[in-house]
Every structure is written in C-alpha cells, then in structure tokens.
A and B are shown apart, each in its own frame.
Chain A
Amino acid sequence: MSYLKPKFHHPSLKPNKVGFIKSDYEGVISTLCAGCGHDSISGAIIQACYETSIEPHKLAKLSGIGCSSKTPTYFLSNSHGFNSVHGRMPSITTGANMANKDLIYLGVSGDGDTAAIGMGQFVHAIRRNLNMVYIVMNNGCYGLTKGQDSATADFGSISKAGSSNPYPGIDLCGLALELNATFVGRSFSGDKTQLVPMIKAAMAHPGFAFLDVISPCVTFNNNKGSTRSYSHVRAHIEETSLFDFVPHQDEITVDYDEGTVTKLELFDGSSIHLSKLAPEWDPTDRFSAVNRLHAAKSKGNVLTGLYYIDVESEDLHVKINTVDKPLNKLTQEELCPGQSQLDVINDSFR
C-alpha cells in the first residue's frame, strides 16, 4: 500500500528517516500556563519521536485527567490519542496494547493521576510488565484543581498558601523499583539533554518503562519552600550518570572512552550509554538502584537519570503467549470455530 506523504514541508527542516519533519510531530497550541514544566516535557517527546523516526501512526498516546494529561493534544497530532478518565490511563493502555502489540504506547499521567486515584492501576500495569512508556509529569500538586498537595509532595514542602505538608511523599521511582518495574528513571522537565534520550530509551524498552519527570507547576507550586520549584530542583539535582541513547540504525560516531562508559544493549539492537557513573551503582542491579536513590534522598537531593533497567525484560504478551499477529488483525476465519465445533460442544452437554 502506498501512502500519501504529508505535504506541509517546511524547507528549513530536514525530513527524518521516515520522511517527516519535526512539525509533523507537534500538536495543537498548548493552553497550559506559560512556563509550566509539562510543556517542556511535550517538547522533549516531540524531539524524541522526530529524532528516532517514529511513524506517527505507529504510536498511540494515552492519558488520564489533569493538566499533565492534557498534554497529548500538544504533541503528535498525527497519532491517535486518548484522554481517558482520572487515574485510569493504565487500564486503557493495557487493553489497547492487548489489541495491537505492534504500536508504541506512550502514557502520560500526573502525580495526582498516578499516586492517588490511579495508584491501583499504576502498580498493576507494572506487575504485568505492560509494554509502554509511562511518564508522570510530577509537580507535587494537583494543578488542574488549583494546587492541592499531591501524594508525591515531600514531607515539609511548603505550599503556595504557606502550609507545610505533614505527610511523607510517595516516591514513585522507589515504588516502581520495589514492584520490579523493568525500566525506572527520573528526569527534570528543565533538562532536555537528559530527558530526550531517556524517552527514546524508554520507547525502545520492551516492557514497562517508567519515567518520573519533575515538572514544576509555575502557578501553584513554584514558591519558596516548595521542593518542586524550579530553583529548588535545580539546586538539588544529582545525576546517576550522563545518559545517551543510540538507536539501532545509527552508527556510533562519538568516541566514548571505554573505561568510563557503560554500554547497555537493548532488545531491538539500540543501546544506552552511561558515563560518569557513581561507583556504588550498577543500573542492572535493582538493589544498588534502591540504595543509590536512598543515598541521594538522605542528602535532600533529587536523583535524576536512569535508575534501573532489566535488559532481559519480557512483556505481558510474552507472559500470556499471544500470537505474533496483533489480535486486532485476526480475521473472522481465524477466530470463529464454526458450527462443526459447536456440534461437538453441544454433544458434550447431552
């Protein structure tokens, strides 16, 4: 089948390997507050998809409800999108993924959407190792309902109204590690250099790839005393390593110093390159990742970068042994056993 190629080429932009220019990956104009971290993450998603030459129709974007969950309209207009109900993006994604294993599923959620109302679905998507990218745009508050503390807000963080959060925050990366998620990392909306390759790697990972992205809410949680403000995060960031992603088609052009670079091969032939690793941390050792996280937290720091990856990850389809052909492509002939089989079944009830 031949497809019509998009015709709105901007001469100044170079088409990628599948013939799309960067603006083909954009969405409608954002209606979020100017300076909202979520918009930067949308930008990183656009860049990652453009650079890895993803065909837009081979990706589906899904979300729950919240400012964060609105973002899928602001990127990838040529992809199907689904803005579902509050906290239930994981179940929609699970069903979609069961129907068609050949698409990339990019789920976007907020810290309220995931760590409160949607906690149940979040942990079970991890448990099943659903093949998806799960991005939490984490601002420590409920943006869309005007700034209430969320369940990820740090203990003692000061709200815009001046109150101190009396509850310990739920660390979603810590939780994901505990639940055996096969890809766990944290990033910062203000650090595209790190975030873009991390999104690329997450998309290449065959299983549940979790990215908790700290994403300041300029309107409700960017005040002094808030641990999710731009200035606080910038002052306390600590990276597990420098992160780079090399897609399988690309030749490695950069010269890496063998001694300081760890290379992790992914299932599809692409690879992750990590440099300047903290000595006590091994990204393929869950236990060391947990320790590394706790070490940073005890210093009041925000640990970003890849925490953990299981390079042998087997996703839900492997676990339940589905056929190679996507289920939504199976025809009536392949699915319906016909009257002859029903005769046999009827007989077994006589």
Chain B
Amino acid sequence: MEKVTVVNDLVIRFSNVNGTGSASANEMFAKSIFRMGIPVTPKNIFPSNIQGLPTWYEIRVSEKGYLGRRAGIDILVGVNPQVLERDIDSVRSGGYFIYDSSKKLHDSYIRKDINYIGIPMIKLSMANYERARIQQLFKNIIYVGAVATLIDMEIDVIKEVIADQFKNKPKLIPANYQALELGINYIKENYSYPLQFQLKRIDKNDDAILIDGNTACGLGAIYAGATVMAWYPITPSTSIASSFEKYCKKLRVDPETGKNKYAFIQAEDELAAIGMVIGATWNGARAFTSTSGPGVSLMNEFIGLSYFAEIPVVLINVERGGPSTGMPTRTQQADIISSAYASHGDTKHPCLYPSTPAECFDLTVAAFDLADRLQTLVMVISDLDLGMNNHMSKPLKWDDDKKYDLGKVLSADELEELESKGEKFGRYLDVDGDAIPNRTIPGTHPSLGSYFTRGTSHDEYAKYSELGEVYLKNVDRLAQKWETAKTIMPKPEFYQEGNRGNIGMIFFGTTTYAAVEAMDKMSDKGIIIDSMRVTAFPFGKEVEDFVNYYDQLIVVEQNRDAQFRSLLILELDINPKKIKSVLNYDGIPITAHQIVVGIEKQILVNAQLN
C-alpha cells in the first residue's frame, strides 16, 4: 500500500478513562500543535461522571484553518480497555490504532485495513515510577511523546508547553520531560517514523488564542462591570462562574484594603440565582447568572417578572443536550424557542448567539448594555461545544474609549429638575417615543422617584391596575419596545458581496465552523449558496431582507425540531414551504460534510418538485 504523505491535515482521537489525568496531557498535546502555528480544534467528548467512564479527546488539525469537526479518525490512541472494540471500529481505513501493548491485543481486535502500533505504556511507566497514581499520570505523557514522534511534532515546543503548565510546580518539569523521552525513545527504537501523517510548522495562527467560550464569557462580564454574580452549578455552564471568580480575584480586589469589588454567590438553586440578579440590577448594580437548559426552565417565572417589571438581567444559557436532564455532557442548540419565549403570558426576550470565544466576550459585554438600555432580560445563548472546548479565536479586545450604556436611570438632580418643571416621574411612562421608560434606583432621593415594582398589571406610574385599557397601554408599549430592540441588536454576518444565487443558507452559533467549511466545499462543486450568520434575536432589517430575497432558504442548526427555522417563520412571516432544514442533534458537533450532504439533498428535492 503506497502511503502519500499528508501534512497538517489530520484527525487524532485519544480514548481515555475519565479521571486518569489524561485531559491535561491531551490539552498539552493540542496546545503544542497550536504553538507550531497550525490551526487546531480540540474537542472533549466526555461523560457525566467523575471517574471511570470512557472519555474521548479529539483533535482536528487543518492547514486550511477549518475549525469544525471532521469525521474519519486517522489516528486513534486507545488506552481505555472498556471500549477497545468501538475505538478500533472507529478508525478510518488506512488509519492507525495506537494502543498500550503492556497487555497483548486479542486477535479478534485485528482489522486488516488499519495499522497497529503497540507501546507498552503502563509497563514503561511502572518501570520508571513508583506510586500508582504517578504511573497513571506519566503513562499519559509517555503516549504524548510517542505520538508526537510518530507525526513529527517539534519536541521542544511540547517541552515549552509542559514547562508553562508546571510553572508553579517546577519540580514536576524534569519528571514530565523524562516521561516524554520514554515515549519518544520507544518509537525511535522500535518503529519507523514519522508516519505519513505529519505536522509541519506553518506559523499561521497569528495573534490567535486558544480559549474556551465560558472563560471568555466570565471575562466579558468583568469587563462589562458586573459586580454581582449568582449561580447554581450545572454542566456546561459552571466554568463561567469559575472564570468570573478566578479573574475577579486577580482584577477586582482593592489593593489597599484587600476587599472585593464583587459579590459572588452560589445560590441554593436557579430560582434563587436569577432572583438575586433581579434584586441586584433593580438596585443599580450590574449582575448576571449563567446556567443551562434545566436551570432556565426553573427560572421561567422570574424571567416573566423581569420582562413585565422591566428589570435588566443578563442570563448566559450554555445549551446542552435536552430534553429533561438529557445529555448533560453533549452539545446541542435546542433551547432556541424556550429561550426566546421563556415564561408564561406574552413574553419575548432578546437573545445573542455567539459563535467564537472572542464573540462570547463581545456579546456578553453587549448583553449588559442591551439589558440596561432596553430594561429587559437578555440571554446570551452559547452551547457546550463553544463553552467547554478550547477554540482558536481572535484575541479578546476591549475598546478603552468605550463607556458603559447604563440606560435611562434618573439621578437625584434629574428628579429635582423634573419636579421643578412640574412633571411627575412615571416608571412606565414612555417619555420620548422609544417605549423605554425612565427608572430610578433605590436610595437616590428622600422624597422623589420612589415607585413600587410589581409583576402585577400596572399603570405608567407603577400603580396596580386591572383595567383593560391600562393593561393594553402597557403591554402594547412593551411590544413597541421590542421594535426598538430590533434596531439596536448586533447585525448578522454575510459571507458574500451582495446576493448572488437563489438559495440562502442561515446558521448561528457553533454551527458556523462547519458551515464556513461547507461553503468552500460547495463552491468547489460549483453550487452557489449565499450565507448569513444570525447573531441576535429579535431579527433586524438585514435578516428580514435576506430571508425575503431568496426563493429557497436552508437553516442549519443542531436540534431535532428545527427550532430556529420555526423562530424565523414565526417572527418574519416566511412561507414555510420555502424554508428547509439541515439538522444535527446526536450531541456531537455538526460537520461540514453533513451540511453539504444535507443541502445537496434539499436542492435535489427542490429540483424534483419544480
């Protein structure tokens, strides 16, 4: 079999047992590729478990810079005996299965069409280290050294990454180097190397960073001036809280007093978490919470209160596989409808859909301004893939000239000015036609500006009323405010100059990675499809113009029921016949291949219909 060398285009999967320290070894491996300047996308496919269940770490390397998943595993490093058979089956024909040969592989596991490379990982580790836990940990570094040698990685880069990783425990560095060498030397002494899959430095990553979306959201909240965070642990959102706390400890401690310029409260449940946020923003602080689907479900009653009483809230929803407890450690975009229309009665909420970590940062910041400006709840909708996996991303950027937009908050002087003009402050009074009223913060003035906040029907002066006309005036103003929102939401992104064909593709969030690659694949095939990435709900004029232009629309999304398609139809009055779907909802991020196949099928169906 002739082997053609493939450079910088590879999918490698590590199959490990959860809780054995493999994650950190695998991450160092991915980071080393990143530091060689080669675009890389690592994905953690992990169980809802602390120790013992199978976990996979998949790395895609793409010289072209494609950051979505790609099917077809070229190299599988299988160190989990529980799933050997499944792992071996998953290697693509002509690929490699690298395993721990400390124990002989049973004959039934031998496939003729793939290559096997045995490395006595645990034996080597036991021969060199004493304690069982240490043997386990260094076994991981041994395979890193071995695989790196097989694909011709720069060992010095890996050493640098190890040194960075252990910079606070420098004593561990030599031992890690030693384990790395054990793996390197074993390959050098026993196999011909490198394989046809090879990595070469290309320095293509410019100023990119390798970061997860949740860390970026946490930082975004700090930069946006959030002082109160209330939350309840739930995968995959927990690391937003960890990020907020970690960076607050670095950036928000008063150096003189050692006291904190933030309150970080682990609530007793999600109801309390959002209640605390509402209380804090009502009282003039910027506050937020983060959660996932089950938490949002619990928050629904309060979400309605924030809508009706017009209290700014920032809620970051990191979606996971639903319904119910669903697949807590798998990804989906399946909270689109339940987020947009959360809570009973006529309610709708602005949503933002970041697709990269840099955008997690930017849109978290934007969410605070929008919430304050619109005096309503704004949801940032991320997902497990974006939130918990590292992604190559543009660096995080803050404009030092930017000023927070705190919206229409009246000061004591402004209240006195109103009074002197003989005008009365009305908490729910539209004073300038944008349907956004003024608000006051408790403690502002001893005798002016107080009002009573309630979730019951109220008039322009916040007084209780069940009169039909009073109710209508208020809820119709809220509808009008929704129109104002449309004009200030972030704009969609387009991928072509002007409109070209008659098919438009629509996607959002993490589907973007695969969609961008699919666009290239399709244009290689001569299929012309124009694309739009939606970043926000409610949909503005740009989105409306795009959907109206095309004869056929295809929405690519990651849920079973085509929720985003429904949202577009509902809000933009699109003829359902002209809007089709490409869906992926098995919990693993969508691939470009799936999109291309899905679209070709739709085009075919359409051609037959015509």
| Distance in angstroms between the alpha carbons of A103 and B211 in the assembled complex | 40
Known A-B contacts A102-B443, A323-B260, A345-B219; the reply to A83 vs B276 at CB < 8 A is no
Q: List chain A residues, Cβ under 8 A from B283.
A: 60, 95-96, 99-100, 103, 328
CB distance from A43 to the nearest CB of B (A): 19
Q: Which residues of A contact B272 (CB under 8 A)?
A: 88, 90-91, 94, 120-121, 124
B396 at the interface (CB under 8 A from A): yes
Q: Which chain B residues in 246-280 approach chain A with CB under 8 Å?
A: 247, 251-252, 254, 257-265, 267-269, 271-280
Give 1 or 0 for each of A73-91: 1 = CB within 8 Å of chain B CB.
Answer: 1000111111111001011
Tier of interface size on chain A: 35 or more
With contact pairs A60-B283, A328-B284 given, residues A98 and B443 touching in the complex (Cβ less than 8 Å): no
Residue B404 lies at the interface, judged by CB distance under 8 Å to chain A: yes
Contact partner, A95, options B34, B228, B269, Cβ 8 Å: B228
The CA of A88 and the CA of B306, in the complex, are separated in Å by: 13
- CB-defined contacts of B209 to chain A, threshold 8 Å: 346, 349-350
- Shortest CB-to-CB span from B453 to chain A, Å, is 4
The contact of A338 among B252, B277, B400, B440, by CB within 8 Å, is B400
B356 to chain A, nearest CB (A): 13
Cα(A120)–Cα(B282), bound, Å: 22
Q: Which of A323, A334, A346 is in CB contact (< 8 Å) with B396?
A: A346
Q: Mark A1-38, 1 if CB is under 8 A from B, else 0.
A: 10111100000000000100000100000000000000
Verify if B367 is at the interface (C-beta below 8 Å from A): no
Q: Are A99 and B287 in contact (CB under 8 A)?
A: yes
Known: A91-B276, A100-B283. A57 touches B396 (CB 8 A): no
Task: Please name all residues of chain B whose beta carbon is closer than 8 Å to the beta carbon of A330 when the two chains form the complex.
Answer: 225, 227, 261
- Complex Cα–Cα for A335 and B404 (A): 11
Nearest-neighbour CB distance to chain B for A130, whole angstroms, equals 10
B164's closest neighbor in chain A, by CB? A348
B103 at the interface (CB under 8 A from A): no
Asked if residues B456 and A83 are in contact (CB atoms below 8 Å), the reply is yes
Instruction: List, in ascending order, chain A residues with CB within 8 A of B413's CB.
Output: 1
Are the C-beta atoms of B450 and A85 separated by less than 8 Å? no
A254 adjacent to chain B (CB < 8 Å): no
Tell me if A253 is interfacial: C-beta within 8 Å of chain B. Answer: no
**Residue with the greatest number of chain A CB neighbours at <10 A, chosen from B404, B445, B447:** B447
**Cβ of B279 and Cβ of A324 under 8 Å apart?**
no
Q: In the complex where A56-B447, A80-B451, A80-B453 touch, is A320 in contact with B442 (Cβ < 8 A)? A: no
8 Å CB interface, A301-350 against B: 317, 320-324, 327-328, 330, 332, 334-339, 341-342, 345-346, 349-350
Contacts of A77 in B (CB 8 A): 450
CA distance A77 to B448 in the complex (A): 10
Contact A73 B252 (CB under 8 A): no
Q: How far is the CA of A204 from the CA of B403 in the complex (A)?
A: 38
User: In the assembled complex, how far is the CB of residue B319 from the closest CB belonging to chain A, in whole angstroms?
Assistant: 23
Q: How far is the CA of A221 from the CA of B40 in the complex (A)?
A: 70
The residues of A that contact B267 with a CB separation of less than 8 Å are: 91, 124
Q: Are A342 and B396 in contact (CB under 8 A)?
A: yes
Instruction: Report if A92 contacts B (CB, 8 A).
Output: yes
User: How many B residues have CB within 8 A of the partner chain?
Assistant: 79
Report how far A6 CA is from B456 CA in the complex, Å: 29
- Residue of chain B at shortest CB distance from A320: B263
Q: Do the beta carbons of A79 and B279 come within 8 Å of each other?
A: no
B443 touches which one: A84, A97, A103, A128 (CB < 8 A)? A103
> Is the beta-carbon distance between B271 and A4 smaller than 8 angstroms?
no
Q: How far is the CA of A256 from the CA of B273 in the complex (A)?
A: 47
Partner of B442, one of A80, A120, A334, A345: A80
Asked if B460 is at the interface (CB within 8 A of a chain A CB), the reply is no
Instruction: Determine if A154 is an interface residue (Cβ-Cβ < 8 Å).
Output: no
Q: Is A66 an interface residue (CB 8 A)?
A: no
A172 to B456, CA, bound (A): 28
Task: Say yes or no: B444 contacts A83, CB within 8 Å.
Answer: no
Chain A residues, CB < 8 A from B445? 3, 57
B397 touches A320 (CB 8 A): no
Does A3 lie within 8 Å of B447, measured CB to CB? Answer: yes
Q: Which residue of A lies closest to B264 (CB)?
A: A320
Contact of A78 among B252, B269, B450 (CB under 8 A): B450
Chain A residue nearest to B358 (CB atoms) is A346
The winner among A1, A328, A332, A334 for most chain B CB atoms within 10 A is A328
Residues in A lying within 8 Å of B, measured CB to CB: 1, 3-6, 18, 24, 55-58, 60, 62, 72-73, 77-85, 88, 90-100, 102-103, 120-121, 124, 128, 317, 320-324, 327-328, 330, 332, 334-339, 341-342, 345-346, 349-350
Can you list 9 A-B pairs, Cβ within 8 angstroms, ordered by A?
A60-B442, A91-B274, A95-B276, A96-B279, A99-B279, A103-B442, A324-B257, A324-B259, A345-B396
18 A-B pairs besides A57-B444, A91-B272, A327-B285 with CB distance below 8 A are A3-B445, A57-B445, A57-B450, A78-B450, A82-B454, A83-B452, A94-B272, A95-B230, A95-B280, A99-B282, A100-B283, A321-B258, A321-B260, A322-B262, A324-B257, A330-B227, A337-B223, A342-B223
